Every structure is written in C-alpha cells, then in structure tokens.
Amino acid sequence: MTEAVIRLEGVHKRFGDLHVLRGIDLVVPAGSVVCVIGPSGSGKSTLLRCINLLEPIDSGRVVFEGKDITTSSRKELEVVRRGIGMVFQQFNLFPHKSVIENVSLAQRTVLKRSAEEARARSESMLERVGLSDKLEEYPERLSGGQQQRVAIARALAMDPHVMLFDEVTSALDPELIKEVLDVMRELANEGMTMIVVTHEIGFARDVANDVVFMDEGVIVEKGPVRRVIDAPREQRTKRFLGLVLEH
C-alpha cells in the first residue's frame, strides 16, 4: 500500500456556535486525486483550509507524510506549508507584484533560492501553465483564468508534495474554466497528489481517483469515483448529484 500523504483523523472545527466539521476521517495516498463535492456550507473549503492549518482545528489530528502536524509551532508550520501548495477561489495574487515576481517571491524568501534559480524555476512553471508571454504583466491586466494559472504556477514553484485546490474555477467566467481545468488535469496525469474542492462534477469524474461527498460537516460518502458519482448509495448524495447534473 502506498503511503498516505495526508491523513485526517476525527477532525472537528467550530466557528463559535457553528460546528463546521464534525469528525472528518480522510486518507489521501501519494499520487491520488481526491475530489471533494457537496452543497455550499457543507464544510468543504474549511476541510481544505484545515489540512495546511490555515484554520487551526479544535480536535482530531492532521498527519502530513506520517508526521502529526496538529500542534506544530508557528515555525514548524512554515516548513510544513512549503510541502503543501494551495490555490484559492479568489486567486489571491499579490497585486503589487508582476507575474514573475508573484511566482518568485516565496522561492526567494522562504526557500532562499538565488534570484537566477528562482527566475528559471518561475519561467519553467509559467511555461507549464501556458503563460510564458506574461512574465512582466501585473495581475490586474490578466483574465481570471490567467490569474488562476499564475496562482497554480506560484504554488508549484515551491515543489509541493500535495496540492490543495479550493473551488478554483468558481470565480471564473464559463469560457475561462477549461484552461484552468486543463492545467490541473495535466498535473494529475503527472502524478501530483491533489485534493480538489470543486463543483465541476465532470472534472471529478474524469480525473479523480476518489470522490468525497460532504454535507453538514460530515463525510456522507466516499469511494472510487465510479461508485460515488455513478452509483451513489446515500440518499443525500443522490439528491445532490441529481440537482447538479440536471442542468
């Protein structure tokens, strides 16, 4: 059996009175693509943000490459996060920095790469996402799809062992979604371990190994993509997929 890159055990998360995650268990083996689907407010994004502990959890364990990181110090977390790339719904590019600076900044300041090394790495990552002609542009001049691809390149440049995608196409115009999904598809084919929170059921069906269906802070159903999407067992999963696949 391949080693799990990410393992969540009994994770609970509360925001005040709101109990957002109610005991999440999840194993993500190396090289696998896990898609997390479910209605809004089901806790999908919070789950993702708990993996790199952008949100501290209230109980349970987060294990990254065999190491319990739940109670890591701030310094230890900084090291852990180098290994976990994250892409956000709103891109979150640094607006005061050019595309190449966006991709290079953390390489320089966190990994202490030299200017030349970081630039070379940034250029090759930006080429990979099809943006070699936009190196000196500023984010405001790019389309949403281009910005999101820069964000992917920025995360990849850190050589992460796993990538977290948080509804990365939800803020995009319909015609720009494909260019981002194509980059992610290619990444999956190259064997990157990925956890993808998404509303794109078609993408999940094509690319995912496992699908997790969440509702009201619990994992209702999880398993191989064919089983969960094409032959769901739980009523809630059936209802959700019925609503999503209808239109």
- Per-residue x/- track, 127-156, other proteins (CB under 8 A): -----------xxx----------x--xx-
Nearer to other proteins, 82 or 178 (CB): 82
**Residues 39 and 240: beta-carbon distance below 8 Å:** yes
Give the Cα separation of 59 and 71 in Å (integer): 10
Give the Cα separation of 111 and 243 in Å (integer): 45
Q: Which of residues 32-91 bind other proteins (CB under 8 A)?
A: 52, 54, 74-75, 78-79, 81-82, 84-86, 88, 90
Residue 236 makes contact with other proteins by CB under 8 A? no
Give the Cα separation of 232 and 234 in Å (integer): 6
Q: Concatenated DSSP letters for 194-237? A: EEEE-S-HHHHHHH-SEEEEEETTEEEEEEEHIIIIIS--SHHH
Min separation Cβ 67 and other proteins, Å: 16
Residue 161 makes contact with other proteins by CB under 8 A? no
Residue 105 makes contact with other proteins by CB under 8 A? yes
- The residue ranges that bind other proteins (CB under 8 A) are 52, 54, 74-75, 78-79, 81-82, 84-86, 88, 90, 92-96, 105-106, 109-111, 138-140, 151, 154-155, 158
